[in-house]
A and B are shown apart, each in its own frame.
Chain A
Amino acid sequence: DVKVTQSSRYLVKRTGEKVFLECVQDMDHENMFWYRQDPGLGLRLIYFSYDVKMKEKGDIPEGYSVSREKKERFSLILESASTNQTSMYLCASSPGTIGEQFFGPGTRLTVL
């Protein structure tokens, strides 16, 4: 079974802090994704990566950056956290260009 893990289930940070969210997949998938999920808005794509060191902006990249130094790991970085970044963050991975996405358990981030 594909396994996508995220470093924390719950995280509380203060405004202005630098925040790292880590995601690891164990199935050698080429593609990895970061979404945020908010009530009434569904899932919105922040960034995705289709190869090591490659990244593409999604629909809402402002205030975020990403890093993919190894194939299995995809990090989401909030350079200076703000209260409007309080949300559930979901990581996903997929193989090639035709596979469905497999999701991690999510990280509930609260920025105070």
Chain B
Amino acid sequence: AQTVTQSQPEMSVQEAETVTLSCTYDTSESDYYLFWYKQPPSRQMILVIRQEAYKQQNATENRFSVNFQKAAKSFSLKISDSQLGDAAMYFCAYRLGAYSGAGSYQLTFGKGTKLSVIP
């Protein structure tokens, strides 16, 4: 079974600084997707960034970027120029590739990292 581990239950960052959230996963598959989701205190979960395992280039979305190390099964999220609105729970998630049967519909989540942004 696939597992996702976020080893930092809580982190804090000074406004305008950079922070990196860690995520490792365990899988024997070669075709999969990885995601970072953000859940602000209002509780609506939104997608931050996604990475296809077959792509070597790291995904970026504005101030958010990932460091995807496939061999090490590591998928960290870097937030640059942190803003007060970045304060939230961040969840790393894994999903099998599109042609892996029923399992490809499901996301496996880590336990989350609570990020605080200090003004």
A42 CA to B33 CA in the complex, in Å? 19
B80 within 8 A of A: no
- Give the interface size bracket for A toward B: 20 to 34
In this complex, what residue of A is CB-closest to B100? A97
Report yes or no: B104 in contact with A97, Cβ–Cβ below 8 A: yes
In the assembled complex, the CB of B7 is this many whole angstroms from the nearest CB of chain A, namely 13
Report yes or no: A103 in contact with B98, Cβ–Cβ below 8 A: no
- Beta-carbon contacts of A39-60 to B below 8 Å, as 1s and 0s? 0111111001010000010100
In the assembled complex, the CB of A104 is this many whole angstroms from the nearest CB of chain B, namely 8
A75 within 8 A of B: no
CB < 8 Å neighbour of A31 from B42, B105, B109: B105
Report yes or no: B106 in contact with A97, Cβ–Cβ below 8 A: no
Report yes or no: B47 in contact with A100, Cβ–Cβ below 8 A: yes
A107 CA to B91 CA in the complex, in Å? 19
Q: Which residues of B contact A105 (CB under 8 A)?
A: 42-44
A98 CA to B97 CA in the complex, in Å? 7
B75 within 8 A of A: no
CB < 8 Å neighbour of B91 from A42, A100, A104, A106: A42
CB-based closest 8 A-B pairs: A103-B45, A42-B111, A43-B109, A98-B98, A97-B98, A42-B109, A106-B43, A105-B44
